[in-house]
Amino acid sequence: MQHVLEQQAGVTDEPVGAAARRRTFAVISHPDAGKSTLTEALALHARAITKAGHVHGKAGRNTTVSDWMEMEQARGISISSAVLQLTYRDTVLNLVDTPGHADFSEDTYRVLTAVDAAIMLIDASKGLEVQTMKLFAVCKHRGIPIITVINKWDRPGKDPLELMDEITERTGLTPTPLTWPVGIAGDFRGVVERDSGDYVAFTPTAGGAEIAPEERMSAGEAAAREGDAWTVAREESQLLAASGAEHDHEMFLGGISTPVLFAAAVRNFGVRRLLDALVELAPAPGPRTDREGQARPLDAPFSAFVFKLQAGMDTAHRDRLAYIRVCSGVFERGMVVTTARTGKPFATKYAQQAFGRDRSLVEVAYPGDVVGLVNASNLRIGDTLHAGPPVQFPALPTFAPEHFAVARGVDTGRYKQFRRGITQLEAEGVVQVLRSDLRGEQAPVLAAVGPMQFEVAESRMSAEFGAPIHLETLGYSVARRTTPAWAPTLSAEWGVEVVHREDGELLVLLPDQWRARSIQRNHPDVVLEPLVAT
Ligand SMILES: Nc1nc2c(ncn2[C@@H]2O[C@H](COP(=O)(O)OP(=O)(O)OP(=O)(O)O)[C@@H](O)[C@H]2O)c(=O)[nH]1
Ligand SMILES: [Mg+2]
């Protein structure tokens, strides 16, 4: 596998130039639009893998490189985001495949704090779905430029102009297609390259497991070959030009427009063009703003933040990996850096690059790179690491949980394992863990945005930590923030419970909003603040 550029120890570039050759982005969308399939197709085209594990529908599918967890493989969905680093045209692409399911949106939102651009996938037959709209809103809020990919064009779907209208109306973004499909959805023959007017014809390969050959030809040749399908595509493309749907770099970077590409990830159609667009259009890493609103220059000493923690990726090693995004300077394996939260040193003895389940050692990394630090048991999500002058990047968003359950070890003799497992899941952000003296350490409350997070917690507790748990669902659906002064009053209320979270927040669990309002009526000064993610 040759997916790394710099691997020689002792040879480093200067960070500004290296950053210019990097693109860091996430693939986002509603479940099932084809993110993992596209991720794999991008890896295939960047020649990081030689054969795509072709996907045959959810049931008997071979898994894609980024869907490595057992549960993901069994269900054919992504539960956790996966990081891949690819090299294409001398540019290093740091790509994060995110889970689409709403229950795992905390993971996706954290990833969006670590990237500079997003690929928004739209299923050609479904258009903009609910979860895609939510993720779009986060990108907009964070000022992340978006490249849109209309996927599954090999299947019957909507009219392409109708899809452009949908993007305009629902997102407010101006779609500026770079390619336009020749052949309706379900009859994908190729695309018009809108800047040159050339035709790129696709040829299917067996099962789509290999790079699909592309044939570039002039408009005249295309007309002779594709007849009406070509004429229609040309006319539609000209219609778009007349309505001003042309790429404008400033508008793209400013989140006003979105370049659009048509693809069929499963057949590897349109994937090379997407790699080109990423290299040519996606922004290179720039200076990151810290908690004080100061930008840390790219050539300042090393700094990075942890946006994801994960353990148990490799059952043989049982290690814990902290994924950092490098923000400034040069990372060299072995350097000793400072954890900003504690002021304590952290030795980066082992640094890895993950590729689905595979790993390779990383010697050097630059701004924009995503690196996995091994033995990161003292690191937390949101931690800043730095060399030189101190810096602290903004805290990562946490969500208001809506599902609550008490966890108890099935086997009381395995309490040590139970405790270790719960602490680990908490650190990774798989679930939030809420504690109170009343319930004790043996029976913490797990809190989640979506119930599938509980299933992940349950399965990992038994498979990874050898401490199967029993979950008892609690009748709360709302969590609010309060202060210690109000804790006794609130604890005395019927159907209400006060617990504390590891980050120091004191939370009140309530059956519903109605109960929150009635308590507020009875105690007009009570502190019951909603938990908002930013
Ligand atoms: N026909 C067709 N099917 C596709 C295409 N891309 C993906 N699929 C299929 O769509 C299904 C979902 O693909 P995934 O890549 O797992 O989707 P995802 O967006 O990663 O899903 P989550 O991670 O669960 O949100 C699979 O059965 C794929 O084979 C495509 O271009 N054409
Ligand atoms: Mg996926």
Q: Residue 58's pLDDT is what?
A: 33
pLDDT surpasses 70 at 355 = no
Read off the pLDDT of residues 497-515 as tens digits, 9 standing for 90 and up.
999 998 889 999 999 999 9
Q: Is the CB of 326 under 6 A from ligand 1?
A: no
Q: Is the CB of 310 under 6 A from ligand 1?
A: no
Ligand nearest to the CA of 202: 1
Kindly give the distance from the C-alpha atom of residue 32 to the centroid of ligand 1, in angstroms, as a whole number.
Answer: 5
Q: Residue 106's pLDDT is what?
A: 87
Q: What is the mean pLDDT of residues 200-226?
A: 87
Which protein residue has the closest C-alpha to ligand 1 atom 12? 32
Q: Residue 10's pLDDT is what?
A: 53
Q: Residue 350's pLDDT is what?
A: 77
Read off the pLDDT of residues 105-114 as tens digits, 9 standing for 90 and up.
888 999 999 9
Pick the closest to residue 310 from 318, 299, 302, 301 (CA basis): 318
Residues flanking ion ligand 2, Cβ below 5 Å:
35-36, 78
Question: pLDDT band at 4, cuts 50/70/90?
Answer: very low
Q: Residue 283's pLDDT is what?
A: 98
pLDDT surpasses 90 at 51 = no
Read off the pLDDT of residues 419-457 as tens digits, 9 standing for 90 and up.
999 998 998 889 999 999 999 999 999 999 999 999 999
**Cα Rg for the chain, rounded, in angstroms?**
24
- 8-17, 251-260, 432-441, 444-453: which has the minimum mean pLDDT? 8-17
pLDDT surpasses 50 at 57 = no
pLDDT surpasses 50 at 396 = yes
Which protein residue has the closest C-alpha to ligand 1 atom 30? 152
Q: Read off the DSSP letter of residue 342.
A: T
Q: How far apart are CA 330 and CA 328, in angstroms?
A: 7
Kindly give the distance from the C-alpha atom of residue 409 to the centroid of ligand 2, in angstroms, as a whole number.
Answer: 31
Pick the closest to residue 117 from 86, 138, 146 (CA basis): 146
Under the phi-then-psi rule, with left for phi > 0, alpha for psi from -120 to 50, and beta for the rest, what region is 382?
A: left
CB 190 within 8 Å of CB 204: no
pLDDT surpasses 80 at 61 = no
Q: Read off the DSSP letter of residue 154.
A: T
Q: Residue 68's pLDDT is what?
A: 59
pLDDT surpasses 50 at 1 = no
* Residue numbers belonging to the annotated binding site for GTP: 97-101
Q: What are phi and psi of 52, to 5 degrees?
A: -75, 135
Q: What is the DSSP string of 20-63?
A: HTEEEEEEE-STTSSHHHHHHHHHHHTTSSSS-----TTTTPPP
Instruction: Please indicate whether residue 313 or residue 297 has the higher confidence score (pLDDT).
Output: 297
Pick the closest to residue 457 from 483, 484, 423 (CA basis): 423
Which protein residue has the closest C-alpha to ligand 1 atom 29? 55
> What is the layout of strands, in order, in the sheet containing 146-151?
82-88, 91-97, 22-28, 117-123, 146-151, 257-262, 174-177
In testing the pocket of ligand 1, which one of 72, 105, 107, 266 has its CB within 8 Å of the most ligand atoms? 266
Read off the tokens for 220.
Answer: 């005249």
Q: Residue 50's pLDDT is what?
A: 54
Kindly give the distance from the C-alpha atom of residue 424 to the centroid of ligand 2, in angstroms, as a whole number.
Answer: 24
- 17-21, 61-65, 504-508: which has the minimum mean pLDDT? 61-65
Question: pLDDT band at 6, cuts 50/70/90?
Answer: very low
CB 67 within 8 Å of CB 94: no
pLDDT surpasses 90 at 358 = no
Closest-lying ligand 1 atom to the alpha carbon of residue 155: 1
Q: Residue 277's pLDDT is what?
A: 98
In testing the pocket of ligand 1, which one of 37, 66, 97, 154 has its CB within 8 Å of the most ligand atoms? 37
Kindly give the distance from the C-alpha atom of residue 184 to the centroid of ligand 1, in angstroms, as a whole number.
Answer: 20
Kindly give the distance from the C-alpha atom of residue 61 to the centroid of ligand 2, in angstroms, as a whole number.
Answer: 13
Instruction: Please indicate whether residue 28 or residue 45 has the higher confidence score (pLDDT).
Output: 28
* Residue numbers belonging to the annotated binding site: 97-101
Question: pLDDT band at 78, cuts 50/70/90?
Answer: confident
> Sign of torsion, CA 311 317 322 323?
negative
Q: Residue 120's pLDDT is what?
A: 97
Q: Is the CB of 29 under 6 A from ligand 1?
A: yes
Read off the pLDDT of residues 158-182 as tens digits, 9 standing for 90 and up.
999 999 999 999 999 999 999 999 9
Q: What is the mean pLDDT of residues 334-354?
A: 88
Q: Is the CB of 34 under 6 A from ligand 1?
A: yes
Q: How far apart are CA 189 and CA 384, in angstroms?
A: 48
Looking at the chain, the whole-number percentage of residues with pLDDT higher than 90 is: 71
Q: What is the mean pLDDT of residues 254-267?
A: 96
Q: Residue 316's pLDDT is what?
A: 58
pLDDT surpasses 90 at 2 = no
Q: What is the mean pLDDT of residues 213-230?
A: 95
CB 370 within 8 Å of CB 114: yes
Q: Is the CB of 270 under 6 A from ligand 1?
A: no
Residues in Cβ contact with 345 at an 8 Å cutoff, skipping those fewer than 6 apart: 336, 337, 338, 339
Judging by beta carbons within 10 Å of its beta carbon (0-12, 13-18, 19+), is residue 38 exposed, middle or buried? buried
Ligand nearest to the CA of 58: 1
- 87-101, 305-319, 376-390: which has the minimum mean pLDDT? 305-319
Q: Classify strands 288-289 and 82-88 as parallel, antiparallel or unpaired.
A: unpaired
Read off the tokens for 450.
Answer: 């979506």
Kindly give the distance from the C-alpha atom of residue 76 to the centroid of ligand 2, in angstroms, as a whole number.
Answer: 8
Instruction: Please indicate whether residue 366 or residue 375 has the higher confidence score (pLDDT).
Output: 366
